[in-house]
Amino acid sequence: MNPIDRGMIFGFGVLLIDFLTWRFLKLNHELARLGIRSALFLLLSYVLWTVPISPFQVAPWADQPVRHILAQGLEFLWWLQAAQISAAVLGRIVLPSALHRERLFQDLLRAIVFLAAAVAAVAYVLELPLGGLLATSGALAIILGLAVQSTLSDVFSGLVLSATQPFQLGDTVAIGDIQGKVVERNWRATTLLNSQGNFVQVPNSAAAKANIVNLSRPPQIHGLTMRIRISPTIRPAVVISALEDAVRSASELLADPGPVITALEVHRKYIEYEIQAYVASADRKATTQNEMVDQVHRHLNAHGICLGQEQQGGEFMSDPERLLRHIEMFKSLSEAQIGQLAAASLRQQFSAGEMIYDAKSDCPDQERALCIVASGVAVLLAPHEGENIELRRLGPGDAVGRSSILAGVSSSIRLRALSSVSILRLDKDAITPLLQQFPDLAKTMLSDMLEVQAREAEVLREIPAQAMGREGLFQRLMEGLRRLHGMAPR
């Protein structure tokens, strides 16, 4: 075989290997792919200059049509390979690192490089006059521009958005009435992933004209707004005090900038209040918003304010019997038994910063108590290396000390008032007569308490973790209950 033909076949073989590498070799590292393709391009260049075939000259075999066309094909493909590698290298060098994920600028750079390579290939390989070619292409460009005017509007709007950077890939934005996470930007549109899990494509021209709100910037501050309408018969100072306690109970809210509560509008049927607060992560907005709604409902209730009812306020959820009924392990008690416990309970008031409850694992039996928050906000603490670590915050209806008062089992925990707090305290001696009078209640109350403890996902459980099954734990707690309340074994 002629050395020239053998060299041309070898050149096409290198191109075939390059194509297979690009199509099937899925390397995660971009530089590795670029290195392999650059090596194959250098090998192709060596083969062409050895034949010799120069991409900067017309193929020399004009009298041999087949060989001439194949040589021109190799030269064109060489220019194509040069454009691909040049675009990749320039993309790494010219574009800032923040734009490496932006397809729009990368596609624009690739288009410029490939256009320059195409012009060079036509000039060197075919030796056509560039003046006439550029004049023809200019007229063609005008015709195409009129035909795709709306598409060009999207293209240039995309360039403006990419240059001004109102958002980046991964940001959560609101473009007009559409909100979602930016997953892609290309020549024509910006693609958002909305809250329903659907892809929404917003044309770049529409995005450039719309109001854009970037919900991910600044990165550590994300606002929450909640509005509530209360009967005008309720004094605003009482409502604002309840709302202040509600935002204190939501531990995810940032202290700086802190929550702001404002009375917005006074109407004959209602007064509208607004809570403006902030969280550190956009992923926590929905969870924190739900927690705020729950805390607002509970604290308004504790201040005697029922939504949707016109009333003057007063003790509502803080009623002793209602608070005790709210405790899960008392749900099997009758109204008379709840009344018996309520009569034995003690109401206490604490100022902000005062220690409400300080129990240790070896706490004396006479100091064991169930503390129920009637109003205000308390914080549950655990001593660790000389410091108190905040575990969670307690609002109206929350309680601590269930296992301690019932079975004499507790962890080292402390309860401190975060605001002015009203506490309903139930000592061990208050529940002993009830258990001695109705022994069958012991198992029911223990079962109810264990069911609650199994559902709660707390940082520190009131019942210490045991390396035993539910039945073994139940028996251990039952033994503690009988010892604590002086009940005979059955």
Output the domain CATH number for residue 324: 2.60.120.10
Give the CATH number for residue 285. 3.30.70.100
Residue 192 pLDDT: 92
Q: Examine residue 284 and state whether it is found in any structural domain, yes or no.
A: yes
Lowest-pLDDT range of 7-11, 213-217, 246-250: 7-11
Give the CATH number for residue 173. 2.30.30.60
Residue 461 pLDDT: 45
| Better-predicted residue by pLDDT, 34 or 183 | 183
Residue 83 Cα distances to 17, 70, 92, angstroms: 18, 20, 14
Q: How many other C-beta atoms lie within 10 A of the C-beta of residue 383? A: 13
Write out the two tokens for 401.
């000390």
The confidence band for 259, taking pLDDT boundaries of 50, 70 and 90, is very high
Parallel, antiparallel, or unpaired: how do β-strands 387-394 and 378-384 relate?
A: antiparallel
Write out the two tokens for 489.
């074994």
My answer on whether 235 and 380 are in the same domain is: no
My answer on whether 200 and 265 are in the same domain is: no
Domain that holds residue 377: 320-485
Radius of gyration of the CA atoms of the chain, in A: 38
The confidence band for 464, taking pLDDT boundaries of 50, 70 and 90, is very low
Residue 424 pLDDT: 92
My answer on whether 369 and 475 are in the same domain is: yes
- With a cut of 90, say whether residue 260 has pLDDT above it: yes
**CB-CB contact of 413 with 458 (8 Å):** no
My answer on whether 203 and 352 are in the same domain is: no
Residue 226 pLDDT: 92
My answer on whether 275 and 411 are in the same domain is: no
| Better-predicted residue by pLDDT, 2 or 309 | 2
My answer on whether 467 and 389 are in the same domain is: yes
* Residue position matching structure tokens 């995309």: 158
Residue 470 Cα distances to 91, 265, 447, 475, angstroms: 62, 54, 10, 9
User: Considering 251, 271, 302, which residue would you say is the last residue of a domain?
Assistant: 302
Q: Examine residue 207 and state whether it is found in any structural domain, yes or no.
A: yes
Supply the mean pLDDT for the chain. Answer: 78
- With a cut of 90, say whether residue 196 has pLDDT above it: no
In a 13 Å sphere around the CA of 186, the CA atoms on its Cβ side amount to: 8
Residue 149 pLDDT: 59
Residue 119 pLDDT: 78
Lowest-pLDDT range of 93-97, 164-168, 228-232: 93-97
Closest by Cα among 161, 164, 221, 169 to 193: 169
Residue 101 pLDDT: 58
Number of domains, the chain? 4
Residue 188 pLDDT: 80
My answer on whether 183 and 207 are in the same domain is: yes
Residue 2 pLDDT: 65
Assess whether the previous peptide bond of 52 is cis (omega < 30° from 0). yes
Residue 92 pLDDT: 72
Residue 263 pLDDT: 92
User: Considering 239, 273, 302, which residue would you say is the last residue of a domain?
Assistant: 302
- How does pLDDT run across 207-247, given as a tens digit for each residue? 888 888 887 777 778 888 999 999 888 889 989 999 999 99
- How does pLDDT run across 308-329, given as a tens digit for each residue? 654 444 444 457 888 888 777 7
My answer on whether 53 and 95 are in the same domain is: yes
My answer on whether 210 and 231 are in the same domain is: no
Q: Examine residue 115 and state whether it is found in any structural domain, yes or no.
A: yes
Lowest-pLDDT range of 158-167, 263-272, 273-282, 334-343: 158-167
- How does pLDDT run across 41-79, given as a tens digit for each residue? 888 777 777 777 777 777 777 677 777 777 778 778 888
Q: Examine residue 367 and state whether it is found in any structural domain, yes or no.
A: yes
| Better-predicted residue by pLDDT, 146 or 29 | 29
My answer on whether 137 and 276 are in the same domain is: no
Average of pLDDT values for 280-286? 81
Residue 85 pLDDT: 80
Average of pLDDT values for 278-290? 85
CA–CA separation, 405 and 427 (whole Å): 7
My answer on whether 200 and 77 are in the same domain is: no
Residue 468 pLDDT: 43
CA–CA separation, 333 and 406 (whole Å): 14
User: Considering 273, 302, 331, which residue would you say is the last residue of a domain?
Assistant: 302
My answer on whether 344 and 475 are in the same domain is: yes
Residue 145 pLDDT: 54
Q: Examine residue 387 and state whether it is found in any structural domain, yes or no.
A: yes
Residue 454 pLDDT: 66
Its pTM stands at: 0.55
Q: Examine residue 419 and state whether it is found in any structural domain, yes or no.
A: yes
- With a cut of 70, say whether residue 25 has pLDDT above it: no
- With a cut of 90, say whether residue 421 has pLDDT above it: yes
